[in-house]
Chains A and B, each alone.
Chain A
Amino acid sequence: MFYLIGLLSVIFFALAINVISKSIKLNKSLAANENTGEALDSSNNANAYGMIIFWALGTIAGVWSFMVAKPDFLPIAASEHGLRTDSMFWISMAVVTFAFFATNTLLLFFAFKYRYNKDRKATFYPVNHKLELIWTVIPAIVMAILVFTGWRTWRDITSQAPSDAVVIEITGHQFGWYVRYAGVDDNQLGNYNYKLIDETNNIGIDFTDKHSFDDFTATELHLPKGKPVLLKIHAQDVLHSVYLPFHRVKMDAVPGMPTKFWFTPNMSTDEMRAKLGKKDFNYKLNCTEICGRGHFGMAITVFVDEPEDYAKWCAEQKPFLATNPTYLAKVPDNLKAKASKYIPAEPVAVDSAAAPAAEAVSVN
């Protein structure tokens, strides 16, 4: 509603200018030649005043709209690097807002002040090297500072993930995300191959790799709070892009080229819920690279858990092999024994070999 009022006021403003310039035209002697400049004064002044009115209304509208929108923009950063980029964002924003405001003010103010006056002659002022040097050097220095701080942050964000990072694989497809965890036993993701994809094994987990046996998949993303997380990102069909708005994480998912992004979530879902006062709040993972019809709906829910909750959740998950024992057939013979321990015992089987395996699963 506020916006509509703002909009209407601007429309009336434009109409007012219209009326002013029209009446000027009527009042002025029609005989005046457009070319002499004599007829210019009134409509010219109206446009000059338009510039200064635009400046005034624009400033008010800019500040006011900023205040109105502020609670809703730039969500609270929920990752360690996010805090850094946010403070840099606001510093850069302050610098550019200053430049934006100062230059636009000068532009519109000069336009107003130096409007045509037939008694005045423009100043012939073609060049001033000193002035030009100043305003080449100052932006260059400001840029250099911004670039340098930006580069340091970028270098840290894109550095090698710590070796203890929790590795999670996320695979984009039309239109959703598959999440695979490295499993609680070896904490290593097994290989995958797009040619192994079928309706059940929709990531294409390669069961000739022993690291795959304890891997489990999920339809939501769980992250431990305060621990570095390394996302290994794939795409199956077209480009997608992993976007965690609260965590300031974005990285494209590219078919045929694995990408990665590591970060440290620093606020659990519960803490964020408390902070925002929204009980049903949930982090989301969205897609930000156009991927087709369902692009806009390609989201999954993200939970940031306290480390112990995270460990508990992981332990509750069943390895893919456990839920889909038929894939044991794909395991090479020399690894069958290792893989079998993830296969739940048949209810009828009571032999001693199966019992520990079943136990292991239940503990897991």
Chain B
Amino acid sequence: MSTATSHAEEVHTHAHDHEHEHHELNFWTKYVFSTDHKTIAKQYLISGIIWAFIGGSLSIIFRLQLGFPEMQLDWLRPILGEWIDEGGKLDKEFYLALVTMHGTIMVFFVLTAGLSGTFSNFLIPLQIGARDMASGFINMLSYWFFFLSSAIMFSSLFIETGPASGGWVIYPPLSALPQAMPGSGLGMTLWLTAMTFFIVSSLMGGINYICTVINLRTRGMTFTKMPLTIWSFFFTAILGLLSFPVLLSAALLLIFDRSFGTSFYLSEIYIQGQALPNMGGSPILYQHLFWFLGHPEVYIVLLPALGMTSEIIATNSRKPIFGYRAMIGSMMGITVLAFIVWAHHMFVTGMNPFLGSVFMFLTLIIAVPSAVKAFNYITTLWKGNLIFTPAMLFSIGLVSLFISGGVTGIILGNSALDINLHDTYFVVAHFHLVMGAASFFGLMAGVYHWFPKMFGRMMNKTLGYIHFWFTFVGVYMVFFPMHYIGIAGFPRRYYSFTAVGNDGAAAFTDMNAFISIAAIITFTAQAIFAWNFFYSIFKGKKAPQNPWNSTTLEWTTPVNPGHGNWEGEIPAVYRWPYDYSKPGSDVDFIPQNVPFSATKSSNLPEEDAEIAKEKDIDGLLGAQNESYNR
């Protein structure tokens, strides 16, 4: 009895001393149903990596078909079973299923959840100086809704009629009518169910990110002192919050059309010898709703990558990011414009051509802030002192891919030119470079850069270099030649090019084979990353506290931060996050929590005036602690 009491007291005092780290977590609450933003981030990351390998392997299967149309694929039968037909060929409908699921998985499950989910969760509290997200519980729910969504989407790969096959955009009527293709049966139902949960998950995440950034910044962390990563996550969350509900409504109406006999998207359809009763719906309505999310989605995927890249390039150039405010401004511009360019995906859908003109103007405006960002990155490198960590290499790779994929957007955004290029491989090459590969590079850069903070260990640099060079060269080899195939007018989502006619297919046989080989090599090279990642979690070299000599707050936490992130008080912030190589300073970086009064030799004239405000910032400590005890 007495021992039990004293034990309880001991626990009590112990908990009191470190009230933010120890809550007697068992395995389940620590690693599975955790409310710690860092654990949730890792859950998102590892789920994202698994999804990336699944999504990537699907693309390799259809690249085999495209690159080597004569190839016997019997050896895939143990995995794909009946989807390899009796002739040893890939089933034509399963080919479409592969394309569809590759797109769905990569866009939503890898580059939205895996990227934004991981790094928004991980970095927002750490970089703004918060103990956790505004609501740890909703954050946990967000991950588990994502997990549920993942489980449903994954299960759809194994059903007899196959997963959704109408393209990742699932345009009705194809997706609405089970008689149109087998994938529009149960597979599509599962797709819509999974996406519904996915949207719920991403809304919960997004609300949390926004609340946290607005409310939980540490004392002194004004908006103009926030790292660009946080700005990018903030804008991303706003984009998601405003656009995902529209996708949900599009999906709901589609569910009604599929299951309850409504005609939102269906009209005058004669299929399989039967005239359907549906009248008055419009497939174009769906396209408008879909792309109202679909286009912002591009920036949901891209902005976090750009934000992290800003941070990594500045750190490893040992130079402030060039044009901090212009970077924020251009991200803000992109965020606003992202909502009003969606119909450039629909120039040739029969939409009113006048609307096409309007969207062409708006689309080409968005190229301006994007160009500003690219120029700013390049200028940041100029006269820097560049340290090529794997993260830095991937960031430079991102900038290159962002430019290379972005410039062709100027052509596709021109409605007159889009007539010929729409739905060809030119589009495929364009978006894979600018949003697929660029965002993927951002994801990789982020993993390499923040791995020490996540797991307290370092990843192997040499393997990182090899991984980078294989991936960088590989991505260009896959997607650069694809432009040629697109200019030649090869439509996307074609099982084979036999009907293109006039030996058109023959002209590009070699190039298609080349692309497929390059894709296989690039994909295989990702194993180097997987090995490095999982090995380093357990066996990597122990990380120092601030391995990259970075200025942001996450590096002021212990090497392995507990729940609550900082053991003592949360540090205050006095300066912007980019004081690298400041003239007059004898160290080449000054962390954000170093007051100007301690760096008189390097202060700029206007910064000396900031010294007076330090007292005010310090005076907020009480209020800040108060807010956590409420």
Contacts and interface: CB of A to CB of B under 8 A. Distances in A.
Interface of A: 1-4, 6-7, 10-11, 13-14, 17-18, 21-22, 25, 34-35, 37, 40, 43-44, 46-48, 50-51, 54, 58, 61-62, 65-66, 69, 71-75, 82, 84-85, 88-89, 92-93, 95-97, 99-100, 103-104, 106-108, 110-111, 114-117, 120-128, 131-132, 135-136, 139-140, 143-144, 146-147, 150-151, 153-155, 157-158, 173-174, 194-195, 197, 199, 204, 233, 236-239, 241, 243, 245, 248-252, 254-257, 259, 278, 280-282, 284, 286-299, 301
A2 B377 CA distance: 35
A104 B403 contact: yes
Nearest to A17: B469
Contacts of B16: none
Contacts of A155: 353, 357
B284 A257 contact: yes
Which of B171, B318, B385 has its CB near the most chain A CB atoms (within 10 A)? Answer: B385
Contacts of A25: 462
Given A154-B415, A194-B268, A295-B96, A22 B387 contact: no
Contact of B269 (A95, A194, A252, A287): A194
B517 to A, nearest CB: 6
Contacts of B166: 290
Contacts of A121: 318, 385, 581, 588
B489 interface: yes
Given A3-B513, A7-B477, A92-B414, A284 B267 contact: no
A135 B465 contact: no
A301 B492 CA distance: 20
B417 to A, nearest CB: 5
Given A2-B510, A13-B473, A254-B349, A108 B462 contact: no
B16 to A, nearest CB: 36
Given A254-B283, A286-B491, A292-B93, 15 more contacts: A3-B511, A10-B477, A69-B511, A92-B414, A107-B381, A123-B581, A127-B322, A127-B325, A135-B372, A150-B360, A174-B180, A236-B271, A248-B420, A256-B268, A293-B181
B514 A7 contact: yes
Contact of B348 (A136, A250, A295): A250
Nearest to B358: A151
B617 interface: no
Contacts of A132: 323, 326, 372, 375-376
Given A107-B403, A284-B499, A114 B372 contact: no
B282 interface: yes
A43 B465 contact: yes
B562 interface: no
Nearest to A272: B502
B461 A88 contact: no
Contacts of A245: 420, 489, 500
9 smallest A-B Cβ distances: which pairs?
A256-B267, A3-B514, A158-B353, A259-B350, A245-B489, A96-B407, A47-B388, A150-B414, A296-B494
A129 B297 CA distance: 31
B171 A146 contact: no
A115 B93 contact: no
Given A7-B518, A295-B494, A256 B422 contact: no
Given A54-B473, A154-B357, A111 B386 contact: yes
Which of B375, B396, B513 has its CB near the most chain A CB atoms (within 10 A)? Answer: B375
Contacts of B496: 296
B383 A257 contact: no
A150 B403 CA distance: 22
A73 B489 CA distance: 8
5 contacts: A34-B547, A124-B319, A128-B323, A199-B273, A296-B92
B283 A255 contact: yes
B488 A73 contact: yes
Which of B273, B353, B417 has its CB near the most chain A CB atoms (within 10 A)? Answer: B417
B185 to A, nearest CB: 13
A85 B510 CA distance: 28
A286 B511 CA distance: 21
Contacts of B387: 37, 40, 44, 116
Contacts of A173: 270
A194 B424 contact: no
A21 B390 CA distance: 13
Contact of B578 (A126, A195, A296): A126
Nearest to B370: A139
Interface string B214-255: 000000000000000000000000000000000000000000
Interface stretch (B55-63, B135-143, B146-154, B479-487): B479-487
A284 B500 contact: yes
Interface string B444-479: 000000000000001001100110011011001100
Given A50-B469, A103-B403, A122-B384, A299 B495 contact: no
Given A100-B407, A252-B350, A287-B491, A107 B378 contact: yes
A277 B329 CA distance: 55
B491 A243 contact: yes
B396 A100 contact: no
B271 A293 contact: no
B544 interface: yes
